[in-house]
Structure 1
Amino acid sequence: MTICSVNNVTKSFGGNIIFENISLEIKNGERVGLVGRNGSGKTTIFQLLTGMESLDAGAIHMKKGTRIGHVAQIPKFDEGMTVYDVLSSAFKAEKELEREMRTLEKNMAEEQETFALQKLMERYGVIQEKFAFLGGYEIEANMMKVANGLQVTELFPRSFLELSGGEQTKVSLAYMLLQKPDLLLLDEPTNHLDLFAVEWLEQFLKEYNGTIMVISHDRYFLDEVVTKIFDLEDGEIHVYHTNYSRFVEEKEERLLHEFQAYQEQQKKIKKMKEAIKRLREWANQANPPNEGLHKRARSMERALERIEKLKKPILERKQMGLQFEGQERSGKDVVVMKEVSKGFADHPLFNEANLHVRFQERAAIVGRNGTGKTTLLKLLLEEIKPDAGEIRIGSSVKIGYLSQHAYGNMKSNVLEAFRECVAVTEGEARHILAKFLFYGPAVFKKVTQLSGGEKMRLRLAQLMYQDINFLILDEPTNHLDIESREVLEEALEQYNGTILAVSHDRYFLNKLFEKTYWIDDRKLFEFVGNYAWARQKWEEKLEKQVIKQQRQGRKSMETAPVKKKEARKIEEIETELMHVEEDIYTLECKMEEVVGVEMLEQLYEEKTKKELLRADLYNELENIVE
């Protein structure tokens, strides 16, 4: 069943046509990836689907009653609402039903008249069924599942309005997922997530019961999540019923086929034009002129006009001209960290960390958000000092740093910002900037007006033309579209210097890096291999730790009879709790069926006693565990 259809839609801004007469169809339960270059109109399509932008022409039909979820901007919440309050507010419908159930339970216990009681019970049954269908009994479990997955549980007590932009975006994403909309529109959902949250989100979306449409430049994410691709290019949409990797192959095949068809048509048109020309020449050479040949020429001309001309497909598009300048080589040891510790206030980040990067090595740093990855880079850049330990930069090392946030003088325009870093003439600067897709008047655009992708391209242009032999990169693929990421990867592959990078782009990490540093539990672990290899070894390491803890646990149980006794008691309480829960459920079912007031009061009283017993058992369990 179709949940959304877009028919012959046209949209333009300021006289520039973004797309014209595009059509697409989204079926219920599909997981669709919307891909295309930055500026191609992907976000505009989302805005049209949600009604944030109006159509110039065409129509959008949405299935009646469809609930759409889209984090286009940070939602507004009341002042003073904590993150926990925000996430809880995603269950408004469930909580309203729960309040009505409690009211009905109270009224049923007090009602004496049989007919009125029957009506109350019927209403209670309907509300309870709806409450269960919406997942009302799993509200807390569902909230914790999403909050843990997106790593926002630590933010629970904090005011939503006091969070950073990235934190607010993560919480807003969690809020939207908990609402379970019928159509989920996700625009770059992985931007503020670390590797582990991204992998959790992938699994969550694969199991999602609704329909999903996602804009993303994360190739692994698209491969894992989507089963259909909408490719938006040159104002047109092409549909591919596959994941991202297969789409790339199918698109190349389609373009080659279209180019062959275009060439065949051009040959046919050329032959027809030559035939028309010859017919006219022959007709004019005759004495008197041959009207029959002129007639044939005119007929062929009309046939030529009726031919629907094929568009010439673009096989190679303009890309960034990314190539690092030659540079003086550094010494063998580029950077060495020995027993380095660093923290802020009462929050230690890592203790006694060791790191050794050699000439021409490609090393990556990974870890959860907040574990100190960017702090580690700042230590190497000598922007901050370690609390303990030693950091040594090797001989002849010239560092180039690509930050995910800082872009130098934000008051300058693109041309000025480039020339502040690279000593070239204005003409040379404009020629270089054109390689980074800054054409004509675009070089006079203020840095403050640039998009995230444009800022990243400008910073890359500045780095390319400096004498650098050690690149330190902090999330270098952020804001870049897929084509630009591929150009960057190719340039870094050819670079003959040393690279140290922080990234959550798994494709980038696996393709370029042969050494991975993993930050966890305030320690820095080294793995010789790319991210996929490091991840495998990390999981093996965790499994070994679990087995070791289990063995130690069994040993301590054997040598400590008191603890063994406590373990038996915990098992007994858990078993009793299970039986009590079953009794409460049985009593609730009987309350729905019973008619007599006396019997209902008796069941309600029994249910209350069981609930008190359940509370006592939980308290007893907590006391033993503590």
Structure 2
Amino acid sequence: MIISCQNVQKYHGAQLVLSDITFDIRQGEKIGLIGRNGCGKTTLFRLLSGEERPDQGQISIRRGSVVGLLAQIQEAETRDTVYTVLQRSFAEPLAWQSRLRELEQQMSGLDAGTDEAAWNRVLKEYGVLQEKFEAAGGYEIDASIQRVASGLGIAGSQYEREFASLSGGEKTKVGLAELLLRRPDVLLLDEPTNHLDMGAIEWLEQYLLAYDGTVLAISHDRYFLDAVVKKVVEIEDGEAITYHTNYSGYQVEKETRLLQQFADYQEQQKKIKQMQESIKRLIEWGNRSNPPNPSFHRRAASMQKALDRMVKIKRPVLERKAMDLQLQQEDRTGNQAVILDRISKSYGSRTLFTGASDILRYGETAALIGGNGAGKSTLLRMILGQETPDSGSCMLGSRAAVGYLAQEAVPEDGKLSVLRYFREEAGMEEGEARGQLARFLFYGSDVFKTIGGLSGGEWTRLRFAVLMHRRPNLLILDEPTNHLDIDSREALEEALEEFPGTVLAVSHDRYFINRCFGKLWAIEDGRFHAFNGNYEYYKEKQAEQAAAVSSVPAGNGILPAGKGGLQYHAQAPANGIASSRKQRSAIAWEQEIAAAEERLGRIDAEMLAPGIASDAVKLAELQHTRDTAQAELDELYTAWMDEAEQKCF
């Protein structure tokens, strides 16, 4: 046992945050700590790290164990660089290294023949220090820093930047790298995936699975919890409930537990009611007797004592209130909601993407994915008209009413109350505004909190309340699930599934993307790709692409389509989308599309032939031909739909 919590209580002022926290953690366990926003998870982390002490109860940590906490606000000396901060994990080995250099200087000035005692003393100290330095991995310091930093997406070009100049998300990422390099016995991670892109999240999952220490992670990332943890501790109503499974198993076990608890509660209530009626009858019988019969009163008193000693089962809450987000639109857009026509963007010598072309149609949902700094938020700003592309054009469809949720931090100087802010944004009377805010979990005195004092999850819920009131038909969301708890994420997912309009969102939440989006826009290695399908299908195709590349012998000149990144969707023709083909009759369109589909069918049939199945070179060549044919067919469909819409409007 490395950590034990027994009946821990903690108050914040007069508010009881944790009422009865009891659980045990064994060496090497990977545990997910979950619960709604504000339930006390971060408070528990501060108790476990020793920053605060419990008001009641006991927390025991095995003697000699080192606990590492990923702090919410990262601090460093004013002039410290990113690399200096990463080196803090190796402070002791680096001090030994410095002393070894000093001893080398001393030895170079000593003569073993004339001052043998001093020489032996220095040589002995040098040997001891060198052994300790080697055992602590001193010779692999730079390699270890490089491995962890690159895994989390910290580029080498950032090493010399001043730590103080980084954004909050970048500081958190560097702090996480520094903590992982320290390799404490217990890792306390508070929302470790919030500022990581998908590649970094997947790397972190593999790192934590191989980590030989104990990991306790607060997270609302459901894929991360499924991949890493084998035990879930849920904080609910100030108490801790333990489930020995991952997140998916927790959902099943919790439902079963609640239903069983409700059945036990009903059975106990029935028994309590029967005992109360029996006590009442016994007292009445005793009073009616003439003279009064004290035996009835003794039996009633004995039964009352048994009732008082009974451990009452708490009535379980089968369904807790969640954010009531109902997205509706005032009017629909035209068939084409967002049109990208060969747009490119660079900053100095750095190219974000080139030739980005695609059409997002009314009712479609698209997720924009890519690494941190790939240009996702830049592309959103160009779609919104806040930034100009270097080349190409970006247009919104007719009658587009945009609802934009930016990735903004809580305003530090926000002095307006929640109620005042919402009323000003929505133009609403106080009574109606309070009713709307209650739908987003702002009850009673919550509406008088200043927006500067809100948590990240509360600030996102407030902005969704404003967004819902505006009734847009095109939603553009930048990391909408960041800081939301799992219940609020599920409410958002259900609202998006019911929304009739168009949705474009930047997100690194793989569960959210997989559930809500049928199209992906990916920015990889300076190239833009459009892909029809959800995230799981996209990953399957990535794996197939990688396998196809590795199976082609070097030097044969045949490469799968889209080498250097996936490309499953045709780029726009050179003379632009709108004027790609001259107008023609419906029959001509149908004939050309039918011929293209027939060509595609012939290639598919050839690829299924038994003689081809074992010929990797021939398969790669056919795949390349098929991709070209598919691109031509997609182009025909796009041009045909464009012409049909132009005739309609």
TM-score range, shorter chain: 0.7 to 0.9
* Separation of aligned partners in 2, 1:124 and 1:270: 80
Structure 1 residue 70: deviation in Å? Answer: 1.3
How far 1:431 sits from its partner (Å)? 0.8
- Find the aligned partners of 2:168 and 2:74 in 1 and give their Cα distance: 12
1:513-524 pair list within 5 angstroms: 513-524=517-528
Q: Confirm or deny that 1:433 pairs with 2:449.
A: no
Report deviation, 1:418: 1.9
Aligned to 1:418: 422
Contact in 2 for aligned 1:338/1:353 (Cα 8 Å): yes
Q: Please list the CA deviations of residues 467-516 of structure 1 after superposition, one character each: whole Å capped at 9, or x if unmatched.
A: 21111111110110011111111111111111111000000001111111
Count of aligned positions: 554
Deviation (angstroms), 1:137: 2.5
Q: Equivalent residue for 1:448?
A: 452
TM-score (norm 2): 0.80
Question: Cα offset for 1:536?
Answer: 2.8
The whole-number CA distance in structure 2 between the counterparts of 1:435 and 1:99 is 61
Paired letter, 1:462: V
1:111 paired residue number: 112
Q: Distance in 1 between matches of 2:409 and 2:25?
A: 40
1:227–1:242 Cα contact (<8 Å) kept: yes
Q: For the Cα contact (< 8 Å) 1:350–1:524, is it kept in 2?
A: yes
> Quick one: distance in 1 between partners of 2:307 and 2:324?
41
Tell me which residue corresponds to 1:500: 504
**1:118 deviation in Å?**
7.4
Structure with greater helix share of residues: 1
Q: Deviations over 1:215-273 (max 9, x none)?
A: 11111111111111111111111111211111111111111111111111100000011
Residue 476 of structure 1 aligns with an amino acid whose one-letter code is P
Aligned equivalent of 2:408: 405
CA distance in 2, matches of 1:549, 1:445: 65
Query: Judging changes above 3 Å, is the alpha-carbon distance between structure 1 residues 406 and 82 closer, same or farther for their aligned structure 2 residues?
Result: closer
What corresponds to 2:52 in structure 1? Answer: 53
Partner SS for 2:240: strand
Between the aligned partners of 2:409 and 2:184, the Cα distance in structure 1 is 36
CA change 1:73–1:295 in 2 (3 A) is closer
The amino acid of 2:503's aligned partner reads I
485, 503, 507: which is aligned to 2:489?
485
Partner of 2:311: 308
Q: Distance in 1 between matches of 2:157 and 2:551?
A: 28
| Cα distance between partner residues in 2 of 1:320 and 1:350 | 37
Amino acid across the alignment from 1:28: Q
Paired AA for residue 239 in structure 1: T
Query: What is the CA distance between 1:420 and its match in structure 2?
Result: 2.8
2:246 aligns with one of 239, 243, 248:
243
In structure 2, runs of 5+ residues without a counterpart are 560-649
Show the counterpart of 1:144: 146
Contact 2:33 2:235 in 1 (8 A): yes
Deviates more, 1:86-95 or 1:373-382: 86-95
Moved more, 104-113 or 333-342: 104-113
Higher mean Cα deviation, 18-27 or 487-496? Answer: 18-27
Q: 1:549 to 1:104 in 2, by over 3 A?
A: farther
Residue identity opposite 2:27 in structure 1 = N
8 Å CA contact retained: 1:321, 1:436 = yes
For the pair 1:537 / 2:536, whether they are aligned, the reply is no
Q: After the TM superposition, which of the residue ranges 478-487 and 287-296 deviates more from structure 2?
A: 287-296
Question: What is the match of residue 301 of structure 2?
Answer: 298
Per-residue deviation, 1:373: 0.4
2:248 matched to 1:264? no
Q: Measure the CA separation in 2 of the matches of 1:157 and 1:369.
A: 19
SS in 1 for 2:64: coil
Separation in structure 2 between the aligned mates of residue 391 and residue 183 of structure 1, nearest angstrom: 50
Separation in 2 of the partners of 1:548 and 1:239?
50
Alignment match, 1:132: 134
Deviation at 1:81, TM superposition (A): 2.4
Change over 3 Å in CA distance of 1:76–1:301 after alignment to 2: closer
Once the 2 structures are TM-superposed, how far is the Cα of residue 352 of structure 1 from its aligned partner? 1.2
Question: Could you tell me which residue of structure 2 aligns to residue 289 of structure 1?
Answer: 292
Sequence identity (%)? 50
Distance in 2 (CA, whole Å) between partners of 1:239 and 1:312 is 19
Alignment partners' CA distance in 1, 2:112 and 2:266: 85
| CA displacement, residues 340-389 of structure 1 (integer Å, 9 cap, x when unaligned) | 11223333211111121111111100000101101111111111121211
In the alignment, structure 1 residue 17 sits paired with structure 2 residue 5: no
Give the Cα–Cα distance (whole angstroms) in 2 for the partners of residues 435 and 30 of structure 1. 38
Query: Could you tell me whether the CA contact under 8 Å between 1:413 and 1:446 is conserved in 2?
Result: yes
Q: Is the 8 A contact 1:74 1:172 kept in 2?
A: no
In structure 2, what is the Cα distance between the partners aligned to 1:73 and 1:37?
18
SS at match of 1:354: strand
Residue 36 of structure 2 corresponds to 37
Structure 2: distance between partners of 1:115 and 1:64? 40
Q: CA separation in 1, counterparts of 2:33 and 2:420?
A: 35
1:205 corresponding residue in structure 2:
208
State how far apart, in whole Å, the 2-side matches of 1:241 and 1:128 are: 44
* Cα distance change of structure 1 residues 114 and 554 upon mapping to structure 2, 3 Å threshold: farther
CA deviations on 1:431-450 (whole Å, 9 max, x unpaired) are 11101111122212222221
Q: CA deviation at 1:151?
A: 1.4
Are residues 88 and 304 of structure 1, via their aligned partners in 2, closer, same or farther at CA, if it must alter by over 3 Å? closer
TM-score (norm 1): 0.83
Q: What is aligned with 2:194?
A: 191
Of residues 314, 317, 321, the one that matches 2:320 is 317
- Using a 3 Å threshold, how does the CA distance of structure 1 residues 40 and 334 change in structure 2: closer, same or farther? same
In structure 1, list runs of 5 or more residues that go unmatched: 556-626
Cα distance, 1:286–1:78 mapped onto 2, change above 3 Å:
closer
Q: Which residue of 1 aligns with 2:615?
A: none
Q: Kindly report the root-mean-square deviation, in angstroms, between the aligned alpha carbons of the 2 structures.
A: 2.5
